[in-house]
Structure 1
Amino acid sequence: MLFAIRRMTSEKEIEKQPSIAYSCYHARSREGEQFVPEHILSYQIAGSLLMNDGNQKYTFREGDFRFSRRNQLVKFTKMPPKDGAFKSLSIFLNQEMLRSMSMEYGYTAAQHQAGSTIVALKPDPLIKSYMDSLVPYQQVTQPGNEQLLALKLREAVLILLKTNPELNDVLFDFSEPGKIDLEAFMNKNFHFNVELKRFAYLTGRSLATFKRDFEKIFHRSPSRWLQHKRLQEAYYLIKEKGKAPSEVYLDLGFEDLSHFSFVFKKTYGVAPSKI
């Protein structure tokens, strides 16, 4: 296997993410939620990746390239091919490196670009050659290879600017999320299972301000509201749409089926399988 294997789900893993990550799975892996803290350039080597940002669904297959914008919430499912393994290669373009390139080369963002969470990149020989060039560097993320790694990351940025110049205003936009409508944001994103500090950050608030504003709007704590909202949606999907509990619990932000069943029965007095 190449470089580092990442599930890309937990907050602790996000903090320790490598700059170059190789994913390899032999079984169907429904990964749940991910907060994307940095821009990511990815190459789908084998299998399929299903992604959902709450607004749009994306499907990437073998040979596809994609660019994921930072500060986004995404659900994803990794689907290995028949009798094979899911494989993908991802390059994390951190803010420190991009700021350095901005100062060195004079790159700046003309304006803030809202745009899509995920950008499907057209196949290009430059991007393909770059991804292929990483294969010999199996130990590139090991200690002692920092300078080589820095060069490969910069190369990725330069290739993106050459093949997709419109990404300049995305790569070199260093603004942080501004204060937005908290009620609208939470009603849209309640099904993402991330820590409250992520919700706070994405709504342009400190954690303390987020909790205070939240209780003013919803008249209950974030954790209680999130559980109630997710259970309410689960009840609707199971009763009105005929969904099975195993189909909805992950999509609604619950980590395991047994916990979902327990809190559902505690709330509604009946197991979700009996609805």
Structure 2
Amino acid sequence: MSAKLIHHDKPKIAYSCYSARNREGEQFVPEHTFSYQIAGILTMNDGVKEYTFNPGDFRLVRRNNLVKFNKQPPPNGEFKSVSVYLDQQTLRNFSIAYGVKAMGHFNGDSIVALATQPLYKSFMESLTPYQQEGIEIDTQLQDLKLREAIWILLQSKPEMKDVLFDFSEPGKIDLEGFMEKNFHFNVQLKRFAYLSGRSLATFKRDFEKIFNITPSRWLQQRRLQEAYYLIKEKGKSASDIYLNLGFEDLSHFSFAFKNKYGVAPSRLLQ
């Protein structure tokens, strides 16, 4: 189950509570997210690096990134974490109110592991009374909590101002390198376009100039090519890899694979 602190479509403070077996998924991160791992293990992958967070660990996931995750509950227990979403409007208001601005562009990891600080822990523990489902935080208290989180991050890690107060949108980047890094994420073309610094129309036009094929066809072919390698050379099964390669269901993956290679994925293992 998941218990949210604020009764909005997009809560700014939320608990994640999960008790079944490992849960895998992927997501686009639209806002900077400050999180505390309470129980269980969270593994995240941004397409470049893999990060593992154990109980007691803190992290900041930067906005405008694609990540895959695996939530692993402890034996006979529940996976638990709490996250604070530092939305752009809150950060803009903070910047205006306190005169804090980015001094440069942060070029570090998309997922920042934060060294344990007493301030982090006391802040996250102050949210515990609201963990029960159905309990809401008053709007003014919510705003105070978000400002407190920002001050704590700035005090413990001053360079965070170059992350939190960089309000620029993604710039136009090398499309071929970007797609090779992110082809396995199952997101809409408009998301790929945005993250590569392009409108959807420009993305499609630039894409076809580079690859001489439409984005949708290239994505399927590239994912199937990777699947063939993982099955044939690494001995992986179709059920192990189809989700990680951006396919929504196993039957669709198997059909597309057989259509391209003339053989079912399971036959390659024989």
TM, length-normalised to structure 1: 0.92
2:79 is equivalent to residue 86 of structure 1:
yes
Equivalent-residue separation in structure 2 for 1:102 and 1:39 (angstroms): 15
- Provide the aligned length of Structure 1 versus Structure 2: 266
Shift of 1:157: 0.5
Map of 2:173 onto structure 1: 180
Structure 1, unaligned stretches of length 5 or more? 6-14
Does structure 1 retain, via aligned residues, the 8 Å contact 2:15–2:131? no
Shift of 1:142: 6.8
* Equivalent of 1:70 in 63, 68, 82: 63
Per the alignment, in what secondary structure is the counterpart of residue 166 of structure 2? Answer: coil
Cα distance, 1:140–1:100 mapped onto 2, change above 3 Å: farther
Map of 1:4 onto structure 2: 4
2:221 is equivalent to residue 232 of structure 1:
no
The more displaced of 205-214 and 30-39 is: 30-39
Equivalent-residue separation in structure 1 for 2:189 and 2:97 (angstroms): 36
Does structure 1 retain, via aligned residues, the 8 Å contact 2:2–2:18? no
Structure 2, unaligned stretches of length 5 or more? none
Shift of 1:21: 1.5
Taking the TM superposition and a 5 Å limit, the aligned residue runs for 1:1-275 are 3-4=3-4, 16-138=9-131, 145-275=138-268
Does structure 1 retain, via aligned residues, the 8 Å contact 2:130–2:136? no
Superimposed CA distance per residue, residues 220-269 of structure 1 (whole angstroms, 9 cap, x where no aligned partner): 21111101100011001101111111221111111222221121112212
Per the alignment, in what secondary structure is the counterpart of residue 73 of structure 1? Answer: strand
Greater than 6 Å deviation, 4+ residue runs: 139-144
Shift of 1:139: 7.4
Shift of 1:73: 1.1
Superimposed CA distance per residue, residues 44-84 of structure 1 (whole angstroms, 9 cap, x where no aligned partner): 01000001111111000111111111111111100000001
Equivalent-residue separation in structure 1 for 2:133 and 2:264 (angstroms): 50
Equivalent-residue separation in structure 1 for 2:212 and 2:2 (angstroms): 49
Per the alignment, in what secondary structure is the counterpart of residue 62 of structure 1? Answer: coil
Per the alignment, in what secondary structure is the counterpart of residue 130 of structure 2? Answer: coil
Per the alignment, in what secondary structure is the counterpart of residue 136 of structure 1? Answer: helix
Cα distance, 1:110–1:140 mapped onto 2, change above 3 Å: farther
TM, length-normalised to structure 2: 0.93
Shift of 1:164: 1.4
Equivalent-residue separation in structure 1 for 2:82 and 2:265 (angstroms): 39
Superimposed CA distance per residue, residues 25-54 of structure 1 (whole angstroms, 9 cap, x where no aligned partner): 112334322111110000001000001111
Superimposed CA distance per residue, residues 118-154 of structure 1 (whole angstroms, 9 cap, x where no aligned partner): 1111111111111111111347997782221111111
Equivalent-residue separation in structure 2 for 1:79 and 1:219 (angstroms): 41
The more displaced of 126-135 and 136-145 is: 136-145
Q: What percent identity do the matched residue pairs reach? A: 67
Does structure 1 retain, via aligned residues, the 8 Å contact 2:4–2:133? no
Cα distance, 1:230–1:194 mapped onto 2, change above 3 Å: same
Superposed CA RMSD in Å reads 1.9
